[in-house]
Amino acid sequence: MNATATTTAVVPTGTWKTDAVHSSVGFAVKHLGVSTVRGQFTDFDGTLEVDENGSATAHGTVQTASVDTREPQRDEHLRSPDFFDAAQFPELKFRSTSITPSGEDTFEIAGDLTIHGVTREIVLDAELTGSDVDTQGNTRVGLEITGELSRKDYGMTFNAALGSGNLVVSDKVKLALDISAVKQA
């Protein structure tokens, strides 16, 4: 079931498709308890549907093999069974269960996120950052979406402890999506 909630016209009525060229799906995780490693997925798509009553649903997919942390050896390890296991689980999937206004231009998106073959509920915070018509006459909206998840909740438990007690890779992963979506005709 894909429950919906009124968005109070935060995003105008219509079907909105992610423009991957002008969007990003990123993450950040602590490495050695000292520094933050940031990465992104370069192959993804998403759709937001808002009906005339203001009810909305969102869904999207990410190709796990497209992970990019600017370090090829680390990216190969992330594609391995230790992490995403891209050969067995080629996609991350999200489907909203509710979208609830939390302010004038902000809302919470609750939904089911599937990673590594495990589906869990996650709540994301979203902000409408603008809406305009581009130079080709397409109506666009911008959204900034953030959230946080636990790797172990999705069966990704690879790690090693250091003598200090810090872990090589933190369990907590911060999510950051910057989305430019185009209204479909």
What are the mean pLDDT values of the chain's consecutive 10-residue runs (185 residues total)? 44 93 96 89 97 92 98 96 95 97 93 97 96 94 97 86 73 97 92
Reported pTM: 0.90
Query: Residue 30 and residue 33: Cα distance in Å, rounded?
Result: 6
Q: Are 175 and 24 spatial neighbours (Cβ–Cβ below 8 Å)?
A: no
Amino acid 140: pLDDT: 95
Q: Which residue is listed with tokens 């509710």? A: 98
Single-letter amino acid, residue 8: T
Amino acid 167: pLDDT: 64
Amino acid 6: pLDDT: 42
Amino acid 63: pLDDT: 98
Q: Which residue is listed with tokens 């370069």? A: 42
Question: Taking the alpha carbons of 26, 30, 32, 35 in that order, is the dihedral positive or negative?
Answer: positive
All domains in the chain, ordered by first residue: 5-183 (2.40.128.110)
Tell how strand 14-18 and strand 24-31 pair up. unpaired
Amino acid 12: pLDDT: 84
Token pair of 42 as six digits: 């370069």
Tell which residue, 152, 153, 140, 147, has the closest CA to residue 181: 140
Query: Residue 88 and residue 116: Cα distance in Å, rounded?
Result: 8
